[in-house]
Structure 1
Amino acid sequence: WRDGVFPSRAKVPCFALILFFTAFSALFAGGAFAAAFGKNQLYTKTFDWQTCETDNFKIYFYPELSARVDNIALDIESAAREISDFMGARHKNKAHLLLFETHPDFQSNRLYPAGWGTGGFSEPMKNRLVMPFYTSPREMRHIIRHEYTHINSFDIFYGGFWRSLSLVRTMLYPIPLWMQEGLAEFCSDIWDGEDAAALRDIYLNGLLLRADDMISFSHLEGYRVYLAYKQSHKMMIFIAEKYGEKKVPELIRQFPNVWEQNIALKKALNMNAKEFDLKFAAYLDDIYKDVCASRNSPDVIAEPMSAEFSFYRSRAPLLTEHGEFFISDGYGYDEPIMRKNGKLRRFLKKNYFDRIAPALAYSDGELLFYAWKNAKPYIVRYGLDGRKKGKMRLISAPFADVRQIETAPGGGLLFAADMNCRSDIFLWEDGNITNLTDDADYEDSFAFDAPRQMIIYSCERNEQLDLRELQIASGEKRWLTSTKHDERRPVISEEGLFFISGKGGFDDIYVLGTVPITAPSDNNVIGTVPITNLTAIKTGINDFSVSAGGDIAFVCQWKGSRQIYLLDRTAGPFKEYLSSREKNFLKRGIDIKNPASKGPAGTDEYSVAGMEAASEDSALPVTRPRPFNFQPYRTRWTFDLIYPLAMFVF
């Protein structure tokens, strides 16, 4: 058996045929499950599928996505060239990209079960890539490149005349999942503060998995699967840094010819799995030990707010006069939780909502959040006081995703949300929607300054997030920061402007001693005000909230979970701490020598509001897509031996 092809004259032993047909029967059962999974799924939307062909892909989409297809086609062709060159392999037949507008649409696919935590998937039999549309260009490129890396590697793993039999082989001798997912992340994702926080947590809290325990992730629970992805990514970075980038594809390309990871590691790196584990642990020790020792444990500088579970996520902390709130999936599903006088209170029945967006607000005795029930989105108002107590109102809303909710004067609501394949900041007033930013950029989060009628928001450009100012009356926009790392989650209070910054390779909470005011372009507004690190945390901070009295609740990666803490403000500020030593920070694996995000040259200091001469029209690169061949969708039938058992063909 060479290059995945059986020689035509070779005799197949009887026991091999028995094994094959046994596996065939097992696949039949799996196909029956696949055929059944969508039958009881209630989803009434139908799709008017169309197709678009490029050199290497056939793209399936529906009219709501028509305006985005040109750029997606260019991006996926670019990914194909880049990753194929890196891997030294090109897929022989056109791959199929099935694109959905929203995540509920994506979950309704009839190819494979997908939940809210699924960013996209690829299937090896017909080289199909399935994903929802992402309004963040950085995340869209990440998912496209991640899934295309799988498509490319499928031809390495399963290529040849009889693809089905190659897939059967992996039932007995699976290709290690840490190699598959580590490679896909290595080729697609920028290693940023969120990724590094996960690895520091793994290192500091003894959560490192052995390579032999990462052949599959099926034994891992909840959020630990995410941590396994991040460890896999870092293992590939370790190989590239210590042994050279070419060793990454060399390791992967062992698997058409070998059936076990120890043999592959021996051939590519001259070590077995145990030796690899020891060297990887020493590598983490070198880059994390001294740096993390100089920083703060969340248990020391803060009080835990969220309940203790194993491998879960808490998010969206909110501090109000009525109590402290957050969203948790500790019981296996999303739910809002209130903490008052040290006691936790739950509101909802089990699995009442499909998903709750990571955003909470409080207004007039009601807790406000955005949720999906039976795949339909709603603004939810849950009463906490008086006659409203325990009553819940669900208001239909059109947003495909929501990242933040804030109350506005007059009873309105402000949303950082997605609608019609665009990300913007919206004002909602009794069903009337006003688009405040109204541009092609991605808005991550915002802070509303009511007295000045101004919004400071985090906006993506050049694959990073910078702070930007919007004057609501005039619509004028000005950049406030320009660094080579992210600034996000701005919060305005009497104390000044708070935000999360990835400065130094760690996501920490910083405070600017004032709120920036629009100034002439030659006036250094931000540069004249001290910026203070309030946390200097060992791992990283994902989100936070500031109360009217200055209390701060934050979400921190710690002990295998994302937990919420209440900061002890008397412990800081912190000045004596080290920055990250990770050479690959803000870089993709296959471009490890050059930054993936092109920040300003020279300094790492904060730039000044209005100092840049860049165009204000859009933060997205301008491209001239070539014309594509658009056609209505037509079903294509197949006579493949194994795959029809799954009952679905394109």
Structure 2
Amino acid sequence: MFAAAALLAPPPAFSQNFGQNQVRLKTFDWKSAETEHFLVHSYPASEATASAAADILERSYARVSTAMGVSWEPKDRKPFFLYATVHDMQQSNIVQVGDGTGGVTEAFKDRFMAYHDGSKQWLDTVLTHELTHVFQYQVLVSGWWRSGRILKTIVYPLWMMEGMAEFFSWGFDDTPGETLVRDAATSNGLIPLWKLEHFSHLKPHQVRLAYESGEKALEFLEREYGEGSVAKMLKLFESRFETSAVLSDLTGLDVFAFDKKWREYEEERGRRTARLEGLRGPESYGPALTASEGGLPEQNSSPVFTPDGTTMAWLSTRDGYPPQVMKKDLRTGKVRALLAHDRAVESVHLGHFANLSRVLALSADGRTLAAGGTKNHRDSLWLIDLASGRKRRLDVPGFDALGQPAFSPDGATLAFSGLKDGVTDLWLADVRTGAARRLTDDPQDDQTPAFSPDGRWAVYTSEFEAPGSAMLYRRRLRRVDVSTGAGEDLPTPPGLARDPVVSPDGTKVLYSLEGGGFHDVYELDLASGRSVRLTRSIGAAYDPVYAPDGEIAFAALRRGSVHVYKAPRARFGADAPPGDRPGPGVARAPAAARSAYAAARSPFSTDLFLPAFFYSSNGGLFWTSYYQGSDLLGDHSVGGLVSYASGQGYLDYQTQYEFKRWRTALGAAAVGRLRRDSLDTSSGYTQDESAHAQYLSASYPFDRYDRLDAVAGSVTESYDASFALPRPHRESRIASAQLVRDTVRGRYLVATAGGRMRAGYSVAPRVLGGNSVREGVFAELQRYVPTGGLSALAFRADAAGFWGPDPPQYVLGGIGGVRGYARSATEDAGRAGVTATAEWRIPVVKNLDYYMWYIFPDFYFKAVSLALFTDAGRTWSDRGELRRSDWGAVRHSYGGGLRIHTYILQLFPLVLHFDYAQRSTTDGGVFYFYLGPLF
């Protein structure tokens, strides 16, 4: 009878109503230009880079098209969108872009996108990677009934899809991938390919390893089974559904046998390279100053030391993403977070994927730490008092992105890298006022400045191109006069030089060099111009610094994690740098012909249409259809679902529309249901019923964590029953608003820290023909307190109260309430109520790692945890009842349960809950099985 009651009530108290926000500050004025194969979109901030992007796309199209044997006609130009910065791309309304994403390709309209960060190497790499996905969709998705082909993409192994995008991005140095895979291969850390069908289940920092493993597996396929095998593999998937079937056709091996053969090859190759090159682990140079917790991979980088050598600050992901700034007393081992998941600083940048840049700086007196941080897609410099932890934002306006600060010796100036008009240069900012002046002015990508001890000059790295060599893009050391801006190149071995620092006496420069499959620490003697190689890393070495005691500290990748190590100078080597690596020469991208830029068109088209129907003599016609459509620029989207069953007498429908161009997300929806001869469980009679609702919604995000939601709507219910009804026709005009906050975070599988809150008001007044009248308030609070590793104390409080002639019931029992009592609309229910829950969630099998690959859909069991809980609550219908009641009116239960964390198809997380709740005031209890998480 109350089919639409849920439409009148406040949102149900489940975590699905929460979630962090996408904040859109910009509306993009897109313009487009045609090249032979692409429709290149840019807006004023990215227009300066659009020509270079178009050249890269056409150059890469020619290479990948030839290698894959795939092409498309000029009339089928693929739409590409270039964003000026990562902050702009994260405001995209075409697809939602999260942290750590460099580019996106979507199958609905073959749109692909990337952002520019000032580095042409980055732009070339990410554009070629995403373009390879476009070629994949050209093979796998194009053709008759595109929607059905899109639905099939769920079965394509992601190790192949992402590995192929890396494989065809040749012409660029693959040192990051080489070091990641070599590290894993020599430490029993390679993930089997059959566990990489999708990446959602992977532990922190393992996704990049999965990408690179896919590439190395495809290189092995091409080497062992002939040139063109990778392209053949893709085309076989056009008519296959399963990885083993494809590999059997190509190699005669199923995925398990192929994976075993590949991993054996990589392990032998890694051991051989380590033996021939004399590679070592970082612990052979000196002890680690950081340590992993909970058995999960983490990254610790960018170490800096106080002048007395007693304190180290660094950047860490030990408590998840975003990374936090940590401080350690090296005498006592005490660790403290200086900037940890702060709502004022949403993110501190680590660097691109496997390339960890130096992002922290410490003043010469050891008192003030500087870091670049982001809030609502705006970068600022932050100054942190090392002793007290107090922080101050230093606004330096006018930049698209900025970071990598370095203090001058007198502490009055910060040098930093700043992106403006598509170019990254070095700038100087006054520490008191934020006033900035340019230090370098060239088209190259200039990064990671560091002052000389006297403050007269600074060193940095600058990107340049070496056409015709095996490594097209390189980075060299440069020196610039702080007063005049005059610069000079410093002798740099072939490769990508990064993160230079100057020795205390000003005679040497310590830096890292990436290239030829190795990433190590080097030292340049300024007088002789000679560099020596200090480390020979099995994994990689980043962010080297001179410690106050004369030792050298650096961050190093080993066994899947990055930690900070420190050792005396005598422990390091002094080897000559390797020369240019051999290989085919790579040419600079030639200029591509293109049309003039014009205002971008945004035609509307279908994204998905999935119909299903059948007919039987007993059940009649059953028909269901799903539709989804949008415009090219992503401002508008619509969706709809209709289900009809003639034999059972029901029709369900729902439609929705979203407008996503502005910061405030707007929406409209209509939902409804029709039932013939529906059974009313409270009376035992049948009735015809209908319920229809129409809504308008708005959601305004203040920042990543806080937002305001508002809904206004109309609900109509009617009933035609064989028994008398007090109100056969109900009309409701509703409005509600709520404030929502969500700061929850967790490293893996479960939430372990942060909290959620929502509080709101709803009303259904007697206006515009409304005859169902009520109003009320509601609130919910959740809090997670970490207790070590993946365990946490979880608390939840929920309250609501309603008044008026037609209030909904607050039901106390059941899942989400006091679990010792069954859910009932007649017992333990009232117009108002409050419940509270406390749970201690403890992992009992942290790494179950059992994959049921032999059934479909497959289940991948990852972990099992124990939950000990207690619930309490009570309801009332008026103030008198509340005043008259005593503690006996409070319902309380306690119990325990198991949580089994699993993934379906390695993609969709699912938590299986088994709970038993015992009533504490009376005998009896309730056993539950449900799918979670509850909160």
- Residue in 2 aligned with 1:113? 96
Find the structure with the greater CA-based Rg.
Answer: 2
Aligned to 1:226: 208
Letter in 2 for 1:394: R
TM-score (norm 1): 0.81
Q: 1:461 aligns with which of 449, 461, 464?
A: 464
Measure, in 2, the Cα distance between the counterparts of 1:77 and 1:644: 34
Question: Counterpart of 1:318 in structure 2: which amino acid?
Answer: V
Identity of aligned residues (%): 25
| CA shift for structure 1 position 510 | 1.9
C-alpha separation in 1, matches of 2:255 and 2:631: 39
Aligned residue among 284, 295, 303 for 1:317 = 303
Asked if residue 82 in structure 1 is aligned to residue 82 in structure 2, the reply is no
Match of 1:250 in 2: 232
Is the 2:186–2:267 Cα contact (8 Å) retained in structure 1?
no
Question: Structure 1 residues 549 and 133, CA, compared in 2 at 3 Å: closer, same or farther?
Answer: same
Alpha carbons of structure 1 residues 562 and 127: separation in structure 2 relative to 1, 3 Å: same
1:245 Cα deviation from its structure 2 partner: 3.4
1:547-587 CA-to-partner distances (Å, cap 9, x unmatched) read 343222211111211222122434233669x989xxxx979
Q: Is the contact between residue 543 and residue 555 of structure 1 (CA under 8 Å) also seen in structure 2?
A: yes
C-alpha spacing 1:180/1:504, structure 2 compared with 1 (3 Å)? closer
Q: CA deviation at 1:372?
A: 0.6
In the aligned structure 2, how far is the partner of 1:345 from the partner of 1:180?
Answer: 41
1:446-492 CA distances to partner (integer Å, 9 max, x unpaired)? 33225372333221112111222333445443332354322222221
Choose between structure 1 and 2 for higher RCO, CA contacts under 8 A separated by at least 6 residues: 1
SS of the aligned residue for 1:81 comes to helix
CA distance in 1, matches of 2:479, 2:341: 41
* Structure-2 change in CA distance of 1:153 and 1:586 (3 Å): farther
Alignment partner for residue 111 of structure 2, among 128, 135, 144? Answer: 128
Paired position in structure 1 for 2:393? 394
2:30 aligned with 1:44, yes or no? no
Determine the C-alpha separation between the residues in 2 that align with 1:418 and 1:435: 11
Q: Which residue pairs with 1:499 in the alignment?
A: 511
When residues 238 and 504 of structure 1 are mapped into structure 2, their CA distance, relative to the original with a 3 A threshold, is same
Q: Are the equivalent residues in 2 in contact too, given 1:446–1:456 (CA < 8 A)? A: yes
Matched, 1:488 2:498: yes
Task: Give the secondary-structure state (helix, strand or coil) at the position aligned to 2:265.
Answer: helix
Maintained 8 Å contact 2:179/2:517: no
How far the C-alpha of 1:262 sits from its partner, in A, is 1.1
Residue 360 of structure 2 aligns with which residue? 360
* 1:198-597 matches, cutoff 5 A: 198-293=180-275, 294-309=278-293, 310-321=296-307, 323-333=311-321, 334-340=323-329, 341=331, 342-352=333-343, 353-358=345-350, 359-363=359-363, 365-385=367-387, 389-398=388-397, 399-402=399-402, 404-408=404-408, 409=410, 411-429=412-430, 430-449=433-452, 451=454, 453-462=456-465, 463-481=473-491, 483-493=493-503, 494=505, 496-502=508-514, 505-512=517-524, 514-516=525-527, 525-526=528-529, 529=530, 531-573=531-573, 594-596=584-586
Mapped to 2, the partners of 1:305 and 1:94 lie a distance apart of: 53
Q: Deviations over 1:576-633 (max 9, x none)?
A: 9x989xxxx979xxxxx5154x8xxxxxxxxxxxxxxxxxxxxxx6965645221112
3-state DSSP class of the match of 2:597? strand
Change (3 A) 1:194 1:401: farther
Residue deviations 1:306-349, cap 9 Å, x none? 23041222221112236101111121121100011222111245
Q: What secondary structure, in the 3-state scheme, does the structure 2 residue paired with 1:497 have? A: strand
Q: Tell me the C-alpha RMSD between the 2 structures.
A: 2.8
- 1:109, CA displacement in angstroms? 1.1
Q: Which ranges in structure 2 are unaligned for 5 or more consecutive residues?
A: 1-16, 351-358, 466-472, 610-625, 634-935
- Look up the match of 1:29: none
Q: How much has 1:152 moved relative to structure 2?
A: 0.7
One-letter code aligned to 1:163: R
Question: What is the alpha-carbon distance in structure 2 between the residues aligned to residue 166 and residue 248 of structure 1?
Answer: 21
The answer as to 2:641 corresponding to 1:638 is: no
Q: Describe the superposition over 1:105-164 as per-residue Cα deviations: whole angstroms up to 9, x where unpaired.
A: 111112322122000110011100022123111110001000000001101111212111
Change (3 A) 1:38 1:80: farther
Matched, 1:147 2:130: yes
Instruction: Specify whether residues 640 and 457 from structure 1 end up closer, same or farther in structure 2 by C-alpha distance, changes over 3 A only.
Output: closer
When residues 418 and 38 of structure 1 are mapped into structure 2, their CA distance, relative to the original with a 3 A threshold, is: farther
Shift in Å, 1:302: 1.9
Give the corresponding residue for 1:30.
none
Pairwise CA distance, 1:255:
0.6
> Displacement of 1:89 after TM fit?
0.6
3-state SS of the aligned residue for 1:114? Answer: coil
Give the CA deviation at 1:355.
Answer: 1.3
Size of the alignment, in residue pairs? 565
Distance apart, 1:179 and its partner CA: 0.6
Given that 2:604 and 2:631 are in contact with CA atoms closer than 8 Å, whether structure 1 keeps it comes out as no
**Are 2:108 and 2:608, in contact at CA under 8 Å, matched by a contact in 1?**
no
Distance in 1 between the 2:272 and 2:70 partners? 41
Alpha-carbon deviation of 1:416?
Answer: 2.4
Match of 1:607 in 2: none
1:197-242 per-residue CA deviation (whole Å, 9 max, x = no partner) reads 2112111211111121111111102201111111112112222333
Is residue 327–residue 336 contact of structure 2 (8 Å, CA) maintained in 1? yes
Q: In structure 2, give the amino acid aligned to 1:320.
A: T
How far the C-alpha of 1:261 sits from its partner, in A, is 1.1
8 Å CA contact 2:299–2:561 kept in 1: the answer is yes
Deviation digits for residues 517-567 of structure 1 (CA, Å, limit 9, x no counterpart): xxxxxxxx42xx4x4332222211122222343222211111211222122
Q: Which runs of 5+ in 1 are unaligned?
A: 1-35, 517-524, 588-592, 599-620
Normalized per residue, the structure richer in helix is 1
Inter-CA distance 288–246: structure 2 relative to 1 (3 Å threshold): same
Distance 2:480 2:523 in 1: 20
Task: Kindly provide the amino acid, as one letter, of the partner of residue 42 in structure 1.
Answer: V
**Residues 544-553 or 477-486, more deviating:** 477-486
Tell me if structure 1 keeps the 8 A contact 2:479–2:489.
yes
**Equivalent position of 2:927 in the other structure:** none
- For residues 23-51 of structure 1, give each alpha carbon's deviation from its aligned partner in whole angstroms, at most 9, with x where no partner exists: xxxxxxxxxxxxx9999533332222212
Q: What one-letter code is carried by the residue in structure 2 that aligns with 1:335?
A: Q
Does structure 2 retain, via aligned residues, the 8 Å contact 1:417–1:425? yes
Cα displacement (A) at 1:99: 1.6
Tell me which residue corresponds to 1:181.
162
- Name the CA shift for 1:644/1:118 in 2 (closer, same or farther; >3 Å): farther
